[in-house]
């Protein structure tokens, strides 16, 4: 009984943390629990019964297999248990979400006992998580003349698993809880530093509000005060959920404010209500839909206009806002789902129809988007088998087609990859489309959740529709600590067995690759018409169109090879003028944000839309710097429009890097990476032959807005500043505050520099090496007045730098060089004034393992400037993370302060920072 006793010991340890028992997911433990249940005199029998009934994870976990088998024994009368009758056993099976439970139900439904067959059929009619092996059994039984099979299939054809669900309440009473003023990062809801605990939902729930117990207790008190109302968590004067999809963030909100998904499955809550003055960040809103939640764009603060319709601004040029209605904590409101309006008593506050569209109402009714996706698939199967048209049960797919209107790049990609739409119909923005997915990426701090989602939707193998799936190890690259050693090998084995290429091989058959997932996906996306889904907000490739997603949407894409979403509107970005020789492309990226805001009076026209950037002349390595940052621009996704020659060069780079990974032994059994090499070669041939040139929008495509970036106006390095001391807290920690280098007067102290994350590429490492050589030539030696942490994005880049001699330069000046044979086991908390060459991976940008010292001012190339992400505050000083180009970061650490323009220009003299020039070729058709 060692396993059970270990479980009891763990339960006691969790009690000390205020936690309940961890759900059972292992076969060995549950088998022992069942033996104790069968032993009427066992001292642990009662608690074992409770564990069996209420504490087993569903789906395809090994524990679920054992549970389903025992429930079958009870139903067949092979074991009689007064506490679990056959009827209750059927109820238990109905909550187990497919896999072994469906197997058992099919055994019974297609068996010889008519009475049991009818009971099993009644349960099967409520299930949607069936796969090919399950539907094949039903099909064979139907062909053999089985009446029960016919009855089940006819029920599926009518989608009774959906139609017989209770309707959504017409009125939902809510009480508001303001989680913050201004933009709320998902780090507030699920801090990166707690990434290791995400798969342990109750434990992870303790980190809500960054472990702020006062806020947690305030929320609990509000719930107690309003027991019959739902709590709506909101960002006042800001956007909710910026930064990432963060399924764990939505899970935490649901755990604290939502509804239990099943009485027999612990800590899995659904249906949270979330809101923001400026709505919900696009990918976070998708995650809310996974749980059948509601996300509301409040617009409770509006810009004031003068008599001429111009925006009224204050002394600093910022728009003056007026509160249209209050959502202060404790405000009782009503959501009317029929009228699609938000009320305060009898007073109508806002039309919220965008939060309650027909598809979203279906998610709410079904308890989440998965059930709808699988339900549609099951209904289609049944109707095809019966030879009938699909009855209109679900809301019709919205198909927007404007005669005579051309297509944007994203519209072209969606039209090519769409499934289930009206044949021959051209679709434009606003259409709601199912699309096949070519590439799927899972990252390591959400991967365990993705594996759980796959188990709970009873999936066992990657969909054949997907060209390749990749599981990274980048978010846990910095420190190979006990948490990583416990979690990552388990994750890699699951994903490898599922059919993904994994950064670490379960049996160590190749060198562990901690490469940044976005850089790997950018390499393995080998077609500009591809659709890519990845478990991170920075899934924004320079080829094809890529969407950052929550762990559940990633699981769904892996299992079905599909994703469902509206075709977003696009904003066209073009360039004019000429870059100064001393400007870096990162400065163009920041200037794009600044100039866009200036052109549109402070309104972010990028938010929730596709940025179609006519990059033209940059290969995907550098172009990725732009697409990556579009997450911070709050865009839904981005697309690069390239010249044919540039795209060919990008594809050749990608193909060669994939081949290197194949040569290292990383390909999977199906040889998916080899398939990508072949696909890249075919695409190159198409472009060279003129058969199919690089993706370009139509000249008469319609855009939400068009932005022209004037390169002549970029005369200084551009820095994204978190503005930590702004009196208006809603304006802190946004990525919209872009300052010029001269703003700091060459005097702002810099405590640490960081070069790394997905925003840098091989060229940045070369710039770093050349700058160090220049400094030595000018001053006789290189001396750092602040630490400089450098984390190359990938091992491929390190290998290329070694072959070309630049890595030797970096090692020469480094005070620390990573050693794969002896990886760090403990996170660094103190830094010396020297260069640290860290292992490839996310490093400081992720903030889950290592951070800068509390209160530091950090100058970084990374993407995140949110409070506490890269650096925590101290009682006396706020930590701040300023985001800049590689040359600015290097010089800031050598000087220990921000450089002057004179110092900067001298430091980069003779270095080619970028070769970007606006294309002179026609990038439309």
Q: What's the whole-model pTM score?
A: 0.87
Residues 490-497, mean pLDDT to the nearest whole number: 96
**Rounded to 5 degrees, what are φ and ψ at 844?**
-60, -25
Beta bridge partners of 533: 440, 547
DSSP string, 707-766: EEEEGGG--S-EEE---TT-SSGGGTT-TT-EEEGGGGTTT-B--EEEEESTT--HHHHH
Residue 564 pLDDT greater than 90, yes or no: no
The residues near 401 (Cβ < 8 Å, ≥ 6 apart) are: 425, 426, 427, 428, 431
The residues near 876 (Cβ < 8 Å, ≥ 6 apart) are: 855
Contact of 588 with 579, CB cutoff 8 Å: yes
Mean per-residue pLDDT over the chain, rounded: 94
Nearest Cα to Cα of residue 866 among 182, 185, 179: 185
- pLDDT for 314: 82
The residues near 884 (Cβ < 8 Å, ≥ 6 apart) are: 586, 717, 718, 719, 720, 859, 860, 861, 892
- The CA distance from 448 to 247, in Å, is 12
Contact of 639 with 672, CB cutoff 8 Å: no
The residues near 10 (Cβ < 8 Å, ≥ 6 apart) are: 21, 22
- The CA distance from 578 to 526, in Å, is 30
Beta bridge partners of 276: 235, 297
Task: Name the one residue in this structure whose structure tokens are 């199919």.
Answer: 692
- pLDDT for 333: 98
Residue 524 pLDDT greater than 60, yes or no: yes
Residue 289 pLDDT greater than 70, yes or no: yes
Residue 239 pLDDT greater than 70, yes or no: yes
- The CA distance from 787 to 751, in Å, is 7
- pLDDT for 490: 93
Residues 755-778, mean pLDDT to the nearest whole number: 92
- The CA distance from 667 to 400, in Å, is 41
Q: 329-351 b/e with 16+ CB inside 10 Å = b?
A: eebebbbbbeebbbbeeeeebbe
- pLDDT band for 397, please (50, 70, 90 cuts): confident
Residues 454-477, mean pLDDT to the nearest whole number: 93
- pLDDT for 1: 54
Nearest Cα to Cα of residue 632 among 449, 845, 472: 845
Contact of 651 with 526, CB cutoff 8 Å: yes
CA atoms within 13 A on the CB side of 457: 28
Tokens for 259, please give them. 């509804």
- pLDDT for 420: 81
> Which one of 433-437, 442-446, 640-644 scores highest in mean pLDDT?
640-644
- pLDDT band for 252, please (50, 70, 90 cuts): very high
Q: Show contacts of 686-691: CB within 8 Å, 24+ apart.
A: 687/644, 687/647, 687/648, 687/651, 688/648
> pLDDT digits over 664-705, tens only?
999 999 999 999 999 999 999 999 999 999 999 999 999 999
- The CA distance from 124 to 142, in Å, is 15
User: Which contiguous run of DSSP H or E holds residue 613?
Assistant: strand 610-616
- The CA distance from 592 to 589, in Å, is 5
Task: Name the one residue in this structure whose structure tokens are 């529709």.
Answer: 465
Residues 555-572, mean pLDDT to the nearest whole number: 94
Contact of 570 with 704, CB cutoff 8 Å: yes
Q: At what angle are helices 62-75 and 86-94 packed, to 10 degrees?
A: 150
> pLDDT digits over 803-860, tens only?
999 999 999 999 999 999 999 999 999 999 999 999 999 999 888 889 999 999 999 9
- Separation in Å, CA 771 to CA 748, 750, 890, 896: 21, 18, 8, 16
- pLDDT for 538: 87
User: Which contiguous run of DSSP H or E holds residue 610?
Assistant: strand 610-616
User: Which contiguous run of DSSP H or E holds residue 294?
Assistant: strand 294-297
> pLDDT digits over 90-127, tens only?
999 999 988 999 999 999 999 999 999 999 999 999 99
Q: Are strands 718-720 and 738-740 parallel, antiparallel or unpaired?
A: antiparallel
- The CA distance from 79 to 743, in Å, is 78
Contact of 786 with 751, CB cutoff 8 Å: yes
- The CA distance from 553 to 533, in Å, is 8
- pLDDT for 210: 93
Tokens for 158, please give them. 């009518």
Above pLDDT 70, what percent of the chain?
Answer: 100
Residues 44-63, mean pLDDT to the nearest whole number: 95
- The CA distance from 293 to 565, in Å, is 16
- The CA distance from 248 to 205, in Å, is 9
Residues 581-605, mean pLDDT to the nearest whole number: 95
CA pseudo-torsion sign 423, 428, 434, 436: positive
More confident residue, 407 or 310: 407
- pLDDT band for 43, please (50, 70, 90 cuts): very high
Q: 84-121 b/e with 16+ CB inside 10 Å = b?
A: bebeebbebbbbbbbbbbbbbbbbbbbeeeeebbebbb
Residue 160 pLDDT greater than 70, yes or no: yes
Nearest Cα to Cα of residue 684 among 652, 658, 646, 636: 652
Nearest Cα to Cα of residue 765 among 818, 819, 811: 811
- pLDDT band for 772, please (50, 70, 90 cuts): very high
- The CA distance from 480 to 717, in Å, is 36
**Rounded to 5 degrees, what are φ and ψ at 340?**
60, 50
């Amino acid at each position: 009984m060692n396993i059970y006793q270990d479980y009891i010991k763990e339960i006691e340890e969790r009690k000390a943390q205020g936690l309940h028992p961890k759900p059972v997911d292992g076969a060995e433990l549950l088998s022992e629990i069942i033996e104790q249940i069968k032993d009427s005199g066992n001292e642990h029998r009662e608690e074992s019964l409770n564990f069996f009934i209420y504490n087993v994870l569903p789906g395809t976990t090994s524990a679920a297999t054992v549970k389903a088998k025992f429930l079958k024994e009870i139903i067949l009368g092979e074991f009689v248990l007064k506490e679990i009758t056959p009827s209750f056993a059927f109820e238990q099976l109905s909550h187990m979400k497919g896999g072994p439970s469906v197997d058992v139900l099919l055994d019974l439904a297609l068996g010889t006992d008519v009475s049991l067959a009818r009971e099993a059929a009644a349960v099967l009619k409520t299930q949607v998580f069936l796969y090919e092996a399950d539907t094949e059994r039903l099909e064979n039984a139907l062909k053999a003349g089985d009446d029960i099979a016919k009855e089940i299939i006819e029920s599926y054809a009518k989608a009774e698993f959906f139609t017989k669900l209770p309707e959504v309440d017409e009125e939902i009473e809510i009480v508001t809880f303001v989680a913050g003023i201004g933009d709320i990062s998902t780090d507030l809801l699920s801090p990166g530093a707690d990434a290791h605990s995400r798969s342990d939902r109750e434990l992870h729930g303790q980190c809500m509000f960054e472990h702020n117990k006062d806020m947690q207790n305030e929320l609990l008190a509000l719930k107690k005060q309003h027991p019959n109302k739902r709590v709506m968590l909101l960002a006042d004067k800001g956007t909710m959920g910026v930064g990432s999809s963060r399924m764990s963030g939505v899970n935490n909100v649901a755990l604290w404010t939502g509804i239990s998904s099943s009485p027999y499955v612990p800590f899995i809550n659904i249906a949270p209500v979330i809101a923001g003055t400026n709505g919900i960040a696009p990918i976070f809103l998708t995650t809310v839909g996974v749980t059948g939640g509601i996300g509301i764009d409040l617009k409770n603060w509006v810009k004031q206009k003068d008599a001429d319709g111009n925006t009224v601004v204050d002394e600093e040029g910022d728009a003056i806002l007026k509160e249209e209605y209050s959502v202060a904590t404790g405000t009782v409101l009503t959501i009317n789902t029929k009228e699609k309006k938000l009320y305060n008593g009898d007073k109508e506050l806002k039309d919220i129809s965008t939060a309650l569209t027909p598809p979203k109402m279906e998610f709410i009714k079904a308890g989440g988007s998965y059930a709808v996706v699988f339900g549609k698939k099951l209904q289609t199967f049944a109707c095809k088998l019966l030879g009938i048209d699909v009855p209109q049960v679900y809301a019709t797919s919205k198909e927007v087609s404007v005669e005579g209107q051309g297509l944007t790049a994203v519209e072209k990609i969606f039209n090519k990859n769409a499934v289930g739409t009206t044949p021959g119909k051209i679709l434009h923005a606003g259409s709601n489309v199912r699309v096949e997915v070519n590439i799927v990426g899972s990252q390591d701090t959400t991967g365990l959740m993705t594996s759980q989602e796959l188990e709970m939707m009873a999936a066992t193998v990657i969909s054949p529709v997907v060209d390749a799936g990749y599981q990274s190890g980048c978010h846990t690259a910095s420190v190979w600590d006990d948490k990583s050693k416990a979690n990552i090998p388990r994750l890699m084995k699951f994903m490898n067995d599922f059919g993904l290429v994994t950064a670490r091989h379960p049996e160590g058959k190749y060198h562990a690759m901690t490469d940044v997932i976005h850089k790997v996906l950018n390499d393995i996306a080998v077609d500009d018409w591809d659709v890519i889904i990845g478990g991170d907000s920075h899934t924004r490739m320079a080829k094809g169109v890529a969407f950052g997603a929550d762990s559940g949407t990633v699981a769904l894409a892996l299992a079905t090879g599909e994703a469902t979403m509206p075709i977003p509107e696009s904003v066209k970005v073009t360039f004019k003028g000429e870059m100064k020789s001393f400007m870096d492309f990162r400065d163009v990226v920041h200037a794009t944000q600044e100039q866009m805001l200036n052109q549109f009076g402070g309104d972010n026209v990028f938010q929730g839309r596709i940025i179609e950037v006519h990059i033209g002349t940059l290969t995907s390595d550098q172009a990725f710097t732009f697409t990556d940052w579009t997450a911070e621009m709050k865009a839904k996704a981005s697309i690069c429009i390239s010249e044919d020659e540039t795209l060919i060069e990008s594809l050749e780079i990608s193909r060669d890097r994939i081949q290197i990974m194949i040569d290292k032994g990383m390909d999977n059994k199906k040889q998916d990476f080899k398939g990508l090499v072949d696909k890249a070669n075919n695409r190159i041939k198409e472009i060279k032959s003129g058969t199919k040139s690089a993706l370009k929008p139509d000249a008469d495509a319609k855009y939400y807005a068009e932005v022209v970036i004037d390169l002549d106006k970029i005369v200084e390095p551009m820095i994204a500043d978190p503005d930590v001391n702004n009196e208006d807290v809603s304006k802190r920690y946004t990525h919209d505050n872009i300052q010029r280098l001269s703003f700091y007067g060459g005097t702002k102290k810099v405590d640490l520099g960081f070069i790394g994350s997905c925003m840098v590429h091989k060229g940045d490492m070369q710039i770093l090496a050349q700058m160090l050589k220049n400094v030595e030539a000018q001053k006789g030696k290189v001396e750092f007045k602040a630490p400089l942490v450098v984390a190359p994005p990938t091992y491929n880049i390190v290998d290329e730098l070694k072959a070309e001699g630049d890595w030797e330069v970096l090692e020469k000046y480094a005070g620390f060089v990573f050693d794969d044979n002896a990886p760090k086991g403990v996170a660094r908390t103190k830094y010396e004034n020297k260069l640290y060459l860290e292992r490839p991976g996310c490093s400081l940008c992720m903030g889950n393992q290592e951070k800068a010292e509390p209160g530091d001012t950090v100058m970084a190339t990374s993407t995140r400037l949110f409070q506490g992400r890269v650096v925590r505050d101290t009682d006396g000083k706020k930590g701040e993370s300023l985001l800049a180009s590689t040359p600015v970061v290097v010089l800031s650490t050598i000087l220990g302060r921000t450089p002057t323009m004179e110092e900067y220009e001298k430091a980069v003299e003779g270095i080619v920072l970028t070769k970007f020039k606006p294309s002179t070729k026609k990038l439309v058709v």
